[in-house]
Structure 1
Amino acid sequence: MEYLLQLKIGALFGLLLLTLLVGFIPARVKWFRDTNGTETHRTVLSLISCFAGGVFLAACLLDILPDYLSDIRTELVARQVQSSFPIPEFILAGGFFIVLVLEKLVLHCQERRVHAGEREPLLQGNGHGHGHGEVVRPELESRGHHIHVDLQAHSPFRSFMLFLSLSLHSVFEGLAIGLQNTDSKVLEICIAILVHKSIIVFSLSVKLVQSGLRAGWVAAYLGVFALMSPLGIAMGIGVMEARVGSGALVQAVLEGLAAGTFVYITFLEILPHELNSPGRQLLKVLFLLLGFCVMAGLTFVS
């Protein structure tokens, strides 16, 4: 077996094991799943969630979007497609609207099945519900202040879409390793992805736990997510061994749809939930910036 192929197979198993190991820390440690702890405990969980929000914001702006725009423009130039219409941005918007329409269809169907009287206790007692409303704290209402709480935040549907967009991106990251033809490039990309993905999967696991999913579903999501980069590596190895075209244009379009999905989840779910919830606003912003800076530093180094 060639040394290059051995490196790729080693990267495949390394990514699989590391993703599972890091991802199951929030999923299996009771501390992350306990929502009835002390005020300090809830504050720390909130700050960890803000850090994860900064990680996803950086992943969106510094990783997923630049990768997609570079790939799609390269393919359009290679195929001599010339148009004044912004095709890359249109594909991105397509991914955004796919999630928006699907989510609203799900919510519409749920609203038709559940009467308002049956839904009211759920909205008042569970921040993970699927409805969308406004929670007003009585002590603040008399002063003319209203605290808006996103009752759709961390819903199972949005958690699934976050998982799906990150999984597609992981496949493309794996492809980047599998399609390399030099040892040094495989090692360079693999190390960058190992560090990058360990932070991403930890943040994803935190969000899945916070969505209220059952432990079995969280484990299933993390297991499938862990397989995505190895799947991409295997696909890349197969393409290299078979000496066939990689379908780069199809890959770029799928990257665009995944990027649009990630834009929606980042800016309409993760950030609003973290920044609109009351208490310790400056500290939350600090941890949001910390998560962003950590990912930005890793992107700069890699």
Structure 2
Amino acid sequence: MASSHSLTHLLLVLCFLCFLCVHPSAAAGNDTAPAECEAASQGKCHDKAASLRLKLIAIATILAASFLGVCLPLFSRSVPALRPDRDFFLVVKAFASGVILATGYMHVLPDSFENLTSPCLPEDPWAKFPFTAFIAMLSAVFTLMVDSLMLSFYRRNKKAAGGAVADHESPDHGVAPASLGNCGHVHGGMPQLDAESKAGKEATLLRNRIIAQVLEMGIIVHSVVIGLSMGASNNVCTIRPLVAALCFHQFFEGMGLGGCILQAEYGAKMKSILAFFFATTTPFGIALGIGLSNVYRDNSPTALIVVGVLNASSAGLLNYMALVDLLAADFMGPKLQSSVRLQLWAFLAVLLGAGGMSLMAKWA
């Protein structure tokens, strides 16, 4: 699994470098916006000193909520009800998946529509084509492609490795091809069954690891964007309700991600890395926004386009992950399919999670 670890590290580093390079350039003052766009950024809620205090409070509270949410499932061994094999874990995961689904549909996607249809952008081409929906669609297809190719690549490598072992062992030990891949332990007809069982477990584990990595990438993109926007804003009326909404959002989204990380069965080091990046991205975005607040203009054409495209990409990824890799995988799985009662509880949890997160759209 070393390649999976390296890929995760590379994607995370590239994501942060992308933001560090793109946003400062997007913040530069060489963009021209209509006069009404400049006037709209000022008003009675504009208070730089008060907004800075709120943003510093937001960094601490969001960081705490994020760490608590993502770490809670990881310490499930001390809380028996939260173990992956328990019914309650599936219900909690369904609730968190509903939060992630609503994040994509009710928060990220509308933000992208607002950015890419802003009157501060030229009418041609931005008002003449639904770029947000188009980019979100491409993002979902791209996520499917990455999901599929990573799984295929791993399986081909495993087959190649199994073939190499067979070529090496057959001449020397006279082992039949059907009995290979079991570390040389032969007990009648059991080796092939053991191998198939082991291969199935490895495929499931790989699938869970891919889900955890791809989901984390989508969350990171959205978290840095919303943190940057909040950090660069001096609108107290916007920031105050946003702090509470983001704490709720980060806690339950963290629980969903933490459940995926737990099922991926990573070691302590990898779990810590994934939890750290999730918990710190929104506070990092806020801090970056505070640092760029003197030069960053969220209504400049370049900033609107960059943030809008990233939000649309994140929305497509989150919606795909929530529906396909989280909800569909669990609801079509053997545990929920074997119990209608458990399915109904899980459906209720999804609706509560999605409903609660949708309600947050009123303030955030």
Give TM class, smaller chain. 0.7 to 0.9
The letter of the residue matching 1:78 is L
Superposition pairs for residues 24-35 of structure 1, below 5 Å?
A: 24-30=71-77, 31=79, 34-35=83-84
Q: Please tell me whether Structure 1 or Structure 2 has the larger radius of gyration of its CA atoms.
A: 2
1:261 aligns with 2:304: no
Aligned CA distance change for structure 1 residues 35 and 198 (closer, same or farther; 3 Å): closer
TM-score by length of 2: 0.67
Displacement of 1:159 after TM fit?
1.0
Kept in 2, the 8 Å contact 1:158–1:265? The answer is: yes
Q: Which residue pairs with 2:261 in the alignment?
A: 208
**TM-score, with normalisation over the residues of structure 1?**
0.80
Residue equivalent to 2:106: 62
1:96: which partner in 2? 140
Q: What is the alpha-carbon distance in structure 2 between the residues aligned to residue 260 and residue 195 of structure 1?
A: 22
State the Cα deviation string for residues 228-251 of structure 1 (Å, max 9, x = none): 111211222222223565722112
1:140 corresponds in structure 2 to: none
Change (3 A) 1:111 1:16: same
Report the counterpart of residue 170 of structure 1 in structure 2: 223
CA distance in 1 between counterparts of 2:296 and 2:268 reads 42
For 2:237, the equivalent position in structure 1 comes to 184
Deviations 1:200-253 (A, max 9, x none): 112221222123222322221111111111121122222222356572211211
Confirm or deny that 1:10 pairs with 2:10: no
| Corresponding residue for residue 307 of structure 2 | 251
3-state SS of paired residue (1:100): helix
Would you say the 8 A contact 1:27–1:215 is kept in 2?
no
Q: Residues of 1 paired with 2:51 and 2:94: CA distance?
A: 40
Which runs of 5 or more residues in structure 1 are unaligned? 37-41, 131-151
Q: Aligned to 2:284, which of 231, 245, 249?
A: 231
Q: Match for residue 142 of structure 1?
A: none
Offset of 1:84 from its aligned partner?
A: 4.8
Larger mean CA deviation between 187-196 and 220-229 belongs to: 187-196
Structure-2 change in CA distance of 1:257 and 1:182 (3 Å): closer
Structure 2 CA distance for partners of 1:193 and 1:79, relative to 1, 3 Å: same
Identify if the C-alpha distance between structure 1 residues 54 and 35 changes in structure 2 by more than 3 Å, giving closer, same or farther. closer
Aligned pairs, how many? 273
Q: Which residue of 2 is the match for residue 276 of structure 1?
A: 332
Taking the aligned partners of 1:43 and 1:126, their CA distance within structure 2 comes to: 23
How many Å apart are 1:287 and its aligned residue? 2.0
Letter in 2 for 1:161: V
Q: How much does 1:164 deviate?
A: 0.9
- Calculate the aligned-residue CA RMSD, in Å: 2.6
